[in-house]
Amino acid sequence: MLLLAGVGAAVVVGRDTDDEGGGGPATVSGVIGSEKAEFFADPEVVAALADEGLTVRAQPVGSWAMDDVDLAGHDFAFPSSQGPADALRADHGDVGAPLRPFYSPLVVLAHRQAAEVLAANGLASLEGANVGRLAMAEYLAAVEEGRTWQELDGALAQDGLSGALYVSSTDPLTSNSGALYLAAASFVANDGQVVADDAAIERTAPLLRTLVRVQGTQQSSSDGPFRDFVSGIGNPLVLAYESQVASLLIGGAGAGDMVVLYPDTTATSDHTLVPLTEGGRRLGEVLTNDPELRRLAVRHGFRPQGATAEFTEATAAHSGYLRDGLDGVRQAPVPTADVLRAMAERARG
């Protein structure tokens, strides 16, 4: 077991093969965002990759910590968005263009009582018992003003609604979801313009610093806050990938009183594979094009690139929690890797 960048322990997924025998699948190794670990460990994914002549050895690492990993001998890097992928390409080069097999928008999870309080105070709107929208401008203004749950009509301390109002997110210096949260918030704070220069970084820094500092210690992976929320502990509002919710529901687990709030301005996690060798490029191609691997990606909650029917069909029974389309949700452009890192450093103080 090997600790990389202080983020997580090494895991190996795939089948043991005799690489010198010439008859087994080719082994490719690389680093992946932690939210894809269960996908690559799925026995059906392992089998589908083997059918395509591939065995994958994957090391979960925070997407923004991949730049600190020695990638010598690796075939690919698979962060959770284009920003860290661009940084990796600049530092390490690649074989061919990056590939984006699937994506997932960021959402905010709330228990029903918390969601109803937000809606009653103009910070969200509900489209059903378990799905709605977060009004980002209004929410950000409330956090910037330092509002507490006690100041909101209908909030009751016995329901866990006390203390500062904020969404729990991950460390933006190491985790993709935390960085994308800052990207979306800065876009709103910068009057609907992507942050692209020092002046805009300075202008949005106070808000981003408040969003981070109000949380205290942040985790380095979105898996921890999500599992805490599902277990009924932690903060009333938690940032998550839609894929985490979809995977939970498709897998047959109950979501209870969870309400999935789609921010009216959000950032989408485009899972971007950077091929470092021909083997890595081959992996990106089969993940993008193979029908079985696309089906399995949907089962793990991801939206395949280039089509919506696969995701819509797989989640039809869970439309009470998930939106099949993202109409009416504004996609915030993500700043360049250098700008986003500078924003994260300022936010962390």
pLDDT of residue 23: 55
Tell which wins on pLDDT, 22 or 304.
Answer: 304
Contact 176/243 with Cβ under 8 angstroms? no
Bridge partners, residue 60, by sequence: 32
Is 347's pLDDT higher than 90?
Answer: yes
Please choose, from the candidates 283, 295, 281, 287, the residue with its C-alpha nearest in 3D space to the C-alpha of residue 54. Answer: 283
| Look-up of token digits 């080719």 | 26
> Band of the pLDDT at 2, cuts 50, 70, 90?
very low
> Using CA atoms, how far apart are residues 50 and 25, in angstroms rounded to an integer?
6
Contact 308/298 with Cβ under 8 angstroms? no
Q: What is the pLDDT of residues 220-247, one digit of tens each?
A: 888 889 999 998 888 999 999 999 999 9
Is 100's pLDDT higher than 60?
Answer: yes
Q: What is the pLDDT of residues 156-182, one digit of tens each?
A: 877 789 999 999 999 998 888 999 999
Q: What is the pLDDT of residues 279-337, one digit of tens each?
A: 999 999 999 999 999 999 999 999 998 877 889 899 999 999 998 888 888 999 899 88
**Percent with pLDDT over 70 in the chain:** 92
Q: What is the mean pLDDT of residues 252-268?
A: 91
Contact 329/263 with Cβ under 8 angstroms? yes
pLDDT of residue 3: 33
Q: How many CA atoms lie within 13 A of 313 on its CB side?
A: 8
> Using CA atoms, how far apart are residues 293 and 53, in angstroms rounded to an integer?
13
Domains and CATH numbers, the chain: 3-103+271-318 (3.40.190.10), 105-267+327-348 (3.40.190)
Give me the amino acid identity at 266: T
Give me the amino acid identity at 3: L
For 331, list phi and psi in degrees, rounded to 5. Answer: -90, 115
> Using CA atoms, how far apart are residues 8 and 306, in angstroms rounded to an integer?
32
> Band of the pLDDT at 18, cuts 50, 70, 90?
very low
Contact 278/330 with Cβ under 8 angstroms? no
Distances (CA, A) of 53 to 16, 25, 41, 241: 13, 4, 17, 30
Is 1's pLDDT higher than 60?
Answer: no
Quick one: tokens of 323?
């939106």
Is 62's pLDDT higher than 90?
Answer: no
Is 20's pLDDT higher than 60?
Answer: no
pTM: 0.88
The two beta strands, 26-32 and 237-241, are unpaired
> Using CA atoms, how far apart are residues 44 and 293, in angstroms rounded to an integer?
9
> Band of the pLDDT at 55, cuts 50, 70, 90?
very high
